Amino acid sequence: MKDIILDVGFGFGKTIEHNYQLLQQLKVFQILGLPLLAGLSRKSMIYKVLKTTPEHALHGTIALNMVALQQGAKILRVHDVKAAKETIALWQQLQLADNE
């Protein structure tokens, strides 16, 4: 099972509300014992709420990527790699602070 990851499919056939409920409950999927992928980058669930465009949804993407990491995501599918790496670095620092 090392080659299997779980993508819950943010955006595919779901309402904005469904996507946010799924994000809030992402931890539930950890019971399956598979790495969780969160593909939130520039999704309509971000830019429609912010009343912007996909190209201008970076800040919302960063915010929801942090939530996904806190909810157990191990893999982020992104368009903006540098921003995602910075988000992960801050999340990792937060985890270190929790363990002290």
* Active-site choice (2, 27, 43, 85): 43
Q: CB neighbours of 71 closer than 8 A, spacing ≥ 6?
A: 23, 24, 25, 26, 27
Residue 77 bears catalytic tag: yes
Of 14, 77, 82, 85, the active-site residue reads 77
Angle formed at CA 22 by CA 80 and CA 68, multiple of 5 degrees: 40
Q: Which residue in the block uniquely carries the two structure tokens 């903006």? A: 80
Q: Is 42 one of the annotated active-site residues of the chain?
A: no
> Distance (Å, rounded) from C-alpha 68 to C-alpha 75?
9
Q: Which residues are catalytic?
A: 43, 77
